[in-house]
Amino acid sequence: MPDNVIQNITEIKSMPEVLKAVEGMKGDGYRYVTMICLKANEGHELIYVFEKDDKLKHLRYFVKPGEKPKSVSGIYLCALLIENEYQDLFGLTFEGLAIDYKGHLYLTPNSPKTPLA
């Protein structure tokens, strides 16, 4: 297998299934590492990264344009920072965030809006 693709990745089609999969991860004793957000075909691509016994596992999900993904901060509290970051940088809206900074985690009303979008 070439080095420059991510291994151990599962693609998931719908948001409720993502939540179910993440809950399953927590049940299996995985640690939440981070989430990566990319621009992809008008929408966004989210890659959730988990770790257990030094092995990484990934979930991939495509956010359609205009779709509001659900927050996983109810399952893993630590997800709240990274989700708030993407609200700032990509202009996404996560539903059900534990603490919602409303796009002002890093940015102020004067700074550029959604710089990475």
CB 3 to another protein: min, Å: 5
CB 17 to another protein: min, Å: 22
How many residues touch another protein under the rule CB under 8 A: the total is 40
For residue 12, the SS3 value is strand
CB 51 to another protein: min, Å: 8
Q: Which of 74, 68, 29 is nearest to 50 (CA)?
A: 29
Is the distance from CB of 58 to CB of 83 less than 8 angstroms? Answer: no
Give, as ranges, the residues between 17 and 46 that touch another protein (CB under 8 A).
26, 31-34, 36-38
Task: Give me the DSSP letters along 29-47.
Answer: TPEEEEEEEEEETTEEEEE
Rule CB under 8 A: is residue 81 a binding residue for another protein?
yes
